[in-house]
Structures are given as C-alpha cells and as structure tokens.
Amino acid sequence: MTTINLQQIQKTERLTDAFRIFNELSENLAHSYQSLEEQVASLNRELAAARSERVTTLIEKEKLASRLQQILAALPAAVIVLNAFGQVIDCNNHAIAFLGEPLLGQDWQTVMARSLQPVAGSPRERQLRDGRKVNITRNLLSNDAEQIILLSDVSELRSLQDLLAQQKHLSAMGEMVASLAHQVRTPLATAILYASQMSKPTLAEEKRQQFSQKILERLHYLERQVNDMLIFAKQGRLAMQGFSLRQLLAHVEESMESFGGRFTIDNRLQSDELLGNEDALRGALMNLLNNAVEADAGNIALTVRQSDGLSISITIEDDGPGIDEQQQTRLFEPFFTTKSHGTGLGLAVVDSVIKAHGGGIVCRSAAGQGATFTLTLPCINQYGLGLSAVSSTRENSHEAI
C-alpha cells in the first residue's frame, strides 16, 4: 500500500471520529436544550403562579386598606399619627374637623397650643375652640417611633354627668331642707322661750344673763346651720381672694373662747398672705373644732405648717373618744351623722370647701384614741416662705360660762 493511500485512510478515520464526536455533542446539546426548555417552562409556570398569588395578595391588601380607610373615616373620633419627631404625618377627617387646618406636617405641640385648651381638674381632657370637650389618648405604634393619638368627643357624656350630678344635688337639697327644718325648729323654739322669759320684770339679773347666753348660743347654732346649707348649695363654687392667715386664726381663737378645755394654735408659717375664701375656710375649721368640742374632748390643738411647694397643711387634733373605722369610711357623706341631733352636713361642707380650694382632707383616728384631721391646701400666695415657730397657746378654765 502506498504512502498516499495510508494518509487518506488516516484522514478518513479522523473525519469519521470527528463526525461521531460532533454527533454525540449534538445529541447532548439537544438533550440539554430540551432539559433547559423544560426548566424554563417550569419556572414560567412557577413565576405565573407566584405572580397570580402576589396579585391576589395585593388585591386583598388593597381591599383591606380600603376597608381600614373607610373605618378610619367613619370613626366618631379624631385619629392623628405622629412621626418620631412629633410631627403629624397622617390623620382622618374628624381630626381636621376638631383641630382645623393646617394639620399635616405640623408640630403636634403647636397644634395642641392652637386648638386644645386644658380642662381644670381633668388632665386627660382638652377643650376645643368650639367649646366641645375631648378625651386624649396617646399610644406608641409597634415600631416604637411613631405615635397614634385618639381624641374622643366626651361633651355629651360630661353634660349627662353634670345633669346627673345636678339631679343628685337637687335631691340632696330636698333632703337637706327637710332635715334643716327639724334642726331649726328646736333651737328656735328654745330661743323664743328664753326671750319670752327675759321680758319679765321680776327676773333676776343672773338669770337674765344666763338666758341671754342661751339665746346667743342657739342663734350661733342657727347661723352655722344656715352657713352650711349655703355652702353645700353652692357645690363648692367659692370666690377666691387674698386674706390674712393671722386674722383667720384670730377669729377661730375668738370663737373658741367659750371652750372649757385647753385649745392651742401653733402657726409655723412665716408668710401671712394666703389665697382662698376666708369665710368658708373659717367655717370649715369651726365645724371640725365644734365636732371635737361636742365629742367632749379636753384638749384640742390646731397646727399650721408648710406642706410642700406652695401648699399648707392645717391639722386639728383632739383627745376625744375617737372614730371607729366603719364610721370613718362615711364621714364626708352628706347627711351621715352619729349624733342624735344635727343635719350631717358639717363634714360634707368641710370636704366641699377643701375641694373647692383644690386641696384634700384626711382623718386618722381610732376608737378611744382621739381624732386628727389634716387639711392640705394649695392656697399660699406667690411670696417666698420660710418656717418659723410662731405659737399661740391659750388655756381656758373648765368652768362653764
């Protein structure tokens, strides 16, 4: 065989091998392409399913968002959303109606100063510019950065509460009038009896003085009953003005001159200028002191001291029979009394007067251990105060006057 033929045979074999490898690669490529097409088809199906699910989710979320928007708009309350900087970023129509515009993008403190006025005695309530009262509630959202504020109109509720309070007060007034008529009749009849005896020319001077003192005692009693009735009828609405503490205590001391025991006044306030209703406070103190006297206390002490800040505390302590725990829970209820005589208005009036001054009253007592009443009053004027030991002690004889 010639060399040329051998080379042709080798070339033919190489071409055959190349075609065979090419065919194998072509088949592999065809299989890979088919597999790729199948994977693409599968991915398209998955993508279509995912897209359909996402579209369904978006539609549901849009429906939910629309429903929430409708609920938010229909809520009978103002809803305001604040960002981390305290600025209004969202609100409903009621918020705009309550607070006015501009609102979005405004600082919340500025909006409050513009549209919401504080309500005395109710820190969670505010008054709108049109006079309506709203309750304000503030909560943090889940991200702890934004806040949601809810303003609920409570004007109608407050009106109903005021109406109910008025009806209760009128009912109490009726009960008080019925009780007062009985309380007035007895001392008035006694005063008339003594007055009729004084007109007799044969009456001894000693008896005349005794009858005069009895008439004066009955008239003072009637005056206290009428004053209690008037203060109770005012429901704690008292005119406030500056007055002298020393003058108030001097009047109290003068009223206690007929007390047969030991009465002391310890005034530890350096300032003499107070703010309040002097007559009402004097009446409240005298109610407490008269109760101690009628309870047969032998020693009564009145102490005035600085409580905290610009407040004072007035403490009345006696060594009488005391008050049991069950009675203490009802002490300040109108018409509650343990006496055989009396309207039961005395301590209710004291409580009303102290509350009208923005203060409070506490009783500490136990049966057989005397009683202590502490009145806390934020009625000190703006003058600086210091404490001093200014005391007044008076001993009264135990002889009846």
- Distance between CA atoms of residues 249 and 269, nearest Å: 12
Range scoring the smallest mean pLDDT among 173-177, 254-258, 292-296: 173-177
- Distance between CA atoms of residues 192 and 202, nearest Å: 18
The answer to whether the CB of 377 falls within 8 A of the CB of 241 is: no
Q: Which CATH class is domain 159-233?
A: mainly alpha
pLDDT in the model for residue 386: 33
Confidence of residue 230 (pLDDT cuts 50, 70, 90): low
On the question of pLDDT at 389 being above 50, the answer is no
What's the longest Cα–Cα distance across the chain? Answer: 188
Predicted model pTM: 0.47
pLDDT in the model for residue 384: 35
- Distance between CA atoms of residues 136 and 123, nearest Å: 9
On the question of pLDDT at 226 being above 90, the answer is no
pLDDT in the model for residue 201: 79
Fold matches, 159-233 and 240-401 = no
Question: For residues 217 and 224, which has the higher predicted lDDT (pLDDT)?
Answer: 217
- 164's tokens: 């109910």
| Mean pLDDT score, 71-95 | 83
- What are φ and ψ of residue 372, in 5° steps? -130, 120
Nearest to 76 by CA among 159, 148, 152: 152
Question: Over the Cα atoms of the chain, what is R_g?
Answer: 44
* In this structure, CATH architecture of domain 240-401: 2-Layer Sandwich (3.30)
**How does DSSP assign 254-319, residue by residue?**
HHTTT-SSEEEEEEEES--EEEE-HHHHHHHHHHHHHHHHHTT-SEEEEEEEE-STT-EEEEEEE-
| Mean pLDDT score, 201-222 | 80
> Please, what is the average pLDDT of the chain?
79
Range scoring the smallest mean pLDDT among 42-56, 89-103, 182-196, 376-390: 376-390
Degrees to nearest 5, angle at CA 250 with 248 and 254: 120
* CATH fold for domain 75-153: Beta-Lactamase (3.30.450)
The answer to whether the CB of 278 falls within 8 A of the CB of 248 is: yes
**How does DSSP assign 361-391, residue by residue?**
EEEEE-TTS-EEEEEEE--B-SS---EEEEE
Task: Centre a 10 Å sphere on the Cβ of residue 370 and count the other Cβ atoms it contains.
Answer: 20
On the question of pLDDT at 344 being above 90, the answer is no
- Distance between CA atoms of residues 94 and 88, nearest Å: 14
On the question of pLDDT at 260 being above 70, the answer is yes
pLDDT in the model for residue 233: 63
Domain ranges of the chain: 1-74, 75-153, 159-233, 240-401
Range scoring the smallest mean pLDDT among 27-31, 158-162, 380-384: 380-384
